[in-house]
Each structure stands twice: as structure tokens, then as C-alpha cells.
Amino acid sequence: MDLDSWMRERRELVESVLLDTVADGFPKPFDGALKYPLQTGGKRIRPILTLAAFELCAPTADRRCALPAALAVELIHTYSLVHDDLPAMDDDDERRGKPTVHRAYDVATAILVGDALLTQAFQLLTDAEAGSDAVRIRLISELAQAAGYRGMVGGQAMDILGGREVTDLNELTTLHRCKTGALIRAAVRMGAIAAEADANMLAALTTYAECAGLAFQLADDVLDADEDEESDSAPSFVRLLGVQGTQQKAESLIRNAKDALREIDGTEGLYALADFIVTRGE
């Protein structure tokens, strides 16, 4: 399978409607600031995972039915990066090779941009035309749980407020499962929920997503270790296991992710995405 064109097709679908999610004609300069972090690139791995899970569970359905879920996940991810880069958090001047929102605009704007993207994610899910009310409520609940204090925000709190002291592998695993894994898990599960997948399929995809989500953060730690002075102090698997040990653990998680789908047909896309997670560059 040609992963590049498979990913490109789905990335282009997501990007063709991503800016429309915030196209309400806000006053300038907020209008530009809101669109800015959605236009600086990004791999779009989470919405691609949502589309891939939906396509696996509903192969004959129109994949556009999964777009509200896919876009909502990407809006949450984008907000998380805008806030993560703020001076009170990781204090980063650049992301994806471009100035961060608070550098391109200012700190107040970046806080408001993050708030707006977070809120808009839920508006998208409530307004989605495809699917029943029951599916909509499940999608909203799934995303709220993954993004909130039981998931991503909780992980960020562990990382930023207490993370420098995390030296225990189990604790670090919990931190990463929350900080990064929860949203990746939701991305996959929301594709399956939008497709009204049965419980067995949802369980298999959940295991896939949990393994792939943790592997994603391990691979990120390996990438950061190559280029990031922050890695000396920030909690990371590389500090505990070394680069090689972390890479091996990521590869073993990817094997487990694929194994969870072994009895299901049509998993080429999700298999290829799992491989991409551990072989990707920035």
C-alpha cells in the first residue's frame, strides 16, 4: 500500500474543511489568530486515524460522515499545542518551524485562540448532521473525557506541575497515556462510534489505539532527545530507558497494536499508520 498517497488523500480532505470550522467572521486580528495554528501544517495524524477507523467499521459509507469527529479531535489537538507553547507552560517560540501563536500575536490572544478552538470542537459535534442523537452524545462524551482532567489536561497537569519529579516508569506511562494517549484513543474510538461499530470492533480498536497512542509519545521522546535541550529536565522515556530502549518499547507497542486487529479485514491503513508512528520524522 502507498501510505503517502493514502495519508495525503485523507489529510487533504481534512484540510479542505478545517478552516471552515472557524469561519464565522470574527473581528480582526482575532480572526487571523484563530486560523493561524490551523494553517501551519501538522501531520493530521489524529483526524486521519478517525477517518481510518470509520472506514474500517463502515467500508461502504461515505467517509465524510466521520469529518465532524475528525475535525473536532484536530481542533482539540491544536488548542492543546497553542496553550502548551505559552510562556507559563513550555514557553516555546516556534512550532512546526513557525512562530507560536503568542509570538505571532500575543499571550492573551493565544489563550483566547485555545479557548475558542476547544469550545468549537464541541459545537462541531453538536451540529453534525449525519448520525443519530445517541451517536452525537457518545461522541461528545468520548471527546470530553479524553480532553479533560481525566485525559489530556490531567496529563499536562502531571507533566507541567509535577513532571520534573517523575522518575518512575509506571508513573511516566500514566502521564503519557493521559497527555497524549487519551486523545489518540478518542480519535480512533470516535471513528468507530460514528460508524456505529459493534462492541467487539470497538474493543479491538481501543486496544490498537491505546498501544499506538503510547508508542506515539515514546517516538516523540526519541525525536525530542535528538534536538531538544528541554529533554534534560522534562520527564521522558529516553531519560529512563535510553534512546534504544525507548525505540524498542515503541516498536513492541506497535506490534501489540497491529495484533489487536489481526482478525479483522481491511486494516492496511491502520497498520501503515501504526508503522508511521514509530518511523516518522518531526
Q: Tell which residue, 239, 274, 251, has the closest CA to residue 53.
A: 274
| DSSP conformational letter for 98 | E
Say if CB 74 and CB 47 are below 8 A apart: yes
Q: Which of residues 205-234 bind ligand IPE (CB under 6 A)?
A: 217, 220, 224
CA–CA separation, 204 vs 218, rounded Å?
22
Q: Does 84 bind Mg ion (CB under 5 A)?
A: yes
Q: Which residue has the cell 506497535?
A: 254
Say if CB 194 and CB 240 are below 8 A apart: no
Q: Which of 3, 6, 26, 43 binds ligand IPE (CB under 6 A)?
A: 43
Instruction: In angstroms, give the least distance from the CB of 52 to ligand IPE.
Output: 15
Q: How far apart are the two ends of the chain, measured CA to CA in Å?
A: 22
Residue 152 interacting partner from Mg ion, ligand IPE, none (CB closer than 5 to 8 Å by kind): ligand IPE
User: Which part of the chain contacts ligand IPE (CB under 6 A), choosing from 40-48, 104-112, 119-127, 161-169?
Assistant: 40-48
**Phi, psi values for residue 99, rounded to 5°:** -60, 140
User: Which part of the chain contacts ligand IPE (CB under 6 A), choosing from 42-50, 63-71, 129-137, 189-197?
Assistant: 42-50
Q: Does 42 bind ligand IPE (CB under 6 A)?
A: yes
Q: Which of residues 76-135 bind ligand IPE (CB under 6 A)?
A: 80-81, 84, 90, 96
Instruction: In angstroms, give the least distance from the CB of 74 to Mg ion.
Output: 17
Whether cis (ω within 30° of 0) applies to the bond prior to 29 is yes
| Cβ-based nearer residue to ligand IPE, 109 or 180 | 180
Q: Which residue has the cell 507533566?
A: 159
User: Which part of the chain contacts Mg ion (CB under 5 A), choosing from 55-63, 78-86, 116-124, 250-258?
Assistant: 78-86
Q: Does 180 bind ligand IPE (CB under 6 A)?
A: yes
Give the amino acid at 37. P
The kind and range of the H/E element at 95 are strand 94-95
Instruction: In angstroms, give the least distance from the CB of 90 to Mg ion.
Output: 4
Say if CB 157 and CB 235 are below 8 A apart: no
Residue number with the shortest CB distance to ligand IPE?
A: 42
CA–CA separation, 175 vs 181, rounded Å?
9
Count of residues in contact with Mg ion, rule CB under 5 A: 2
What residue ranges bind ligand IPE (CB under 6 A)? Answer: 42-43, 45, 80-81, 84, 90, 96, 152, 156, 179-180, 217, 220, 224
